Amino acid sequence: MSKRYQNFIGGHWVDAKSGQTFENRNPANWSELIGTFPKSGKEDVEVAVRAARVAFEKWRLVPAPRRGDIMRKVGDLMVSRKEELSRLMTREMGKVLAETRGDVQEGIDTAYYAATEGRRLFGHTVPSELENKFAMAIRIPIGVAGIVTPWNFPMAIPTWKIFPALLSGNTVVFKPASDTPATATALVEILTDAGVPEGVVNLVHGGGGDVGMSIVSHPDVDLISFTGSTGVGKRISEVASATLKRVSLELGGKNAQLVMDDAALDLALDGVLWGAFGTTGQRCTATSRLLLHEKIHDHFVEMLVNRVSLLRLGDGLKEGVEIGPCVNEGQRQTVMNVKPDHRIAKEEIFGPVLSVIKVKSLDEGIRILNDTVYGLSSSIYTSNINNAFRAIRDIHAGITYVNAPTIGAEAHLPFGGVKQTGNGHREGGWTVYDFFTEWKTVYIDYSGGLQRAQIDNYPIDNKS
């Protein structure tokens, strides 16, 4: 019998107010029902935001190192439940166990990194231009954070957002993807078991239109962190602007791997296979375009076709399977319906589809690589250090790999892109804490008298 799941609001597991539910099934075995989940709406979001707002007043006063202690416990619990979480994720969205284990490990790494940031939310002290006056800038929490996440990394991406949000002193209303609600539930259970107080994390299941946009438009939600499609990201930006919310958008990509004629071809082949077909191509950093120097083009394509024909597809829980299914039938149809007249060289597909393009030179390769509205990840394979550094300088992307594929982010480094891949914020590493905190400037004047900064401290010498 399948499990019946609930929302988590104000420290309690509750049904959607409508009483409606939706099903979550295994894409590799559609007859397997993972569970039924509450089909929530605006009314559920209202209660969750209210709970988060109340909890914020106490949570923001908890010292950051103590919030870090909770994050460390979260990491420990994730370690103890790693295999359980990995298998659940594979059943939910299809990718193979080796990848879901990596997904969970990314969350573990992010938890431990967040724990250390509890003692590293650094501010600045600077000299004042006036005597007997102290000046500094400190970080403070912002308020209620709306977190909206995709299905392709149902553990890693929520942790990239939720852990720094909590460590910074914010409270959370979390809407996970409808394709991976069980993994999200497991994450919230771990947060609760680790000691996160009631109301600090609230989980609301449901669709993007009903739940996601209700979070985005709610006047008591102070900031939004979203990962998903560029089209939805633009709509979120429009709606959030009505209340001047702070918004972080991590959107699409059309990433390319450039292979020069002096590259180690076997290494480049391993890279494009992993980059293009890992996670069934369902990554924002997936290699969607392969740019080959004309001198090695034909030989490399032959190598590629031979290796692709040997890839083993199937149920991600089975030993030896290298590529799992698309997450659902709709996604499969999107991938299968690509036609020759589609603009597949420029538009994101989010599936195991690779465009191969011949180039004559490094300059042409970089020009074609940059010829897209996206700018997330990029890769160049070359043994020429000059070419490598030119690529680093000239490629328009937030991430550039040298002699490595376009996928494989590390938790302690910034993650994000340029152009229509996002709106300039970064996740991961130290940079994400700038998004989840507000800067407050503090002046302490101990002169005992009125001092007017920037008024008459530098009088003009008229004698000259």
What residues are labeled active site? 250, 284
- Shortest CA distance to 148 belongs to which of 74, 220, 216, 46? 216
Q: Report the distance separating Cα 76 and Cα 297, nearest Å.
A: 48
- As a whole number of angstroms, the distance between CA 101 and CA 84 comes to 10
Residue 351: which of 94, 32, 25, 92 has the closest Cα? 94
Return the structure tokens found at 440: 């407050």
Per-residue burial over 57-83, b if 16 or more Cβ lie within 10 Å, else e, is eebbebebeebbbbbbbbbbbbeebbe
DSSP state of 313: B
CA 385, distance to chain mean position in Å, is: 31
Residue with tokens 């995709």: 150
Question: Could you tell me where the beta strands, DSSP code E, fall in 149-295?
Answer: 171-175, 201-203, 223-227, 246-250, 255-259, 287-293
For CA atoms 448, 454, 459, 464, the dihedral sign is positive
